[in-house]
Amino acid sequence: NAGVMQNPRHLVRRRGQEARLRCSPVKGHSHVYWYRQLPEEGLKFMVYLQKENIIDESGMPKERFSAEFPKEGPSILRIQQVVRGDSAAYFCASSVLAGNTGELFFGEGSRLTVL
């Protein structure tokens, strides 16, 4: 009865490299959310996806960041040409309902460090 699984838990990249973060939602959940947590800034919404669709990407930086949730397989958050400011914890959450009264189930996060 697995919860939200994220990997890798820790990722180190040099400036200019690519980072790929994976998220497998709770079985049966079709809604996936990505959040970024920076020190002193709390948890910031990035993107909301359903299978094969981006519903809301208003929190995603316009450049270098992309997300997908394919029909098969995990959701992927991709950061191209990483910079030091991308260092943060990235959390994935899933839900079975579309918000309002639906609870979000969070993974343990992927901590990205950019050298």
Which residues contact other proteins (rule: CB under 8 A)? 4, 31, 33, 35, 40-45, 48, 55-56, 91, 93, 98-101, 103-104, 106-109
User: Min. distance of Cβ 97 from other proteins in angstroms?
Assistant: 9
Sign of CA dihedral 66, 69, 70, 76: positive
Cis preceding-peptide flag for 39 (omega within 30 of 0)? no
Residue 71 gets which letter from DSSP? Answer: S
When the beta carbons of 28 and 42 are compared against other proteins, the nearer one is: 42
- For residue 85, report the phi and psi dihedrals to the nearest 5 degrees: -70, -10
User: Min. distance of Cβ 48 from other proteins in angstroms?
Assistant: 5
| Centroid of chain to Cα 14 | 20
When the beta carbons of 17 and 89 are compared against other proteins, the nearer one is: 89
User: Min. distance of Cβ 101 from other proteins in angstroms?
Assistant: 5
Nearest to 72 by CA among 20, 25, 107: 25
When the beta carbons of 9 and 15 are compared against other proteins, the nearer one is: 9
User: Min. distance of Cβ 85 from other proteins in angstroms?
Assistant: 18
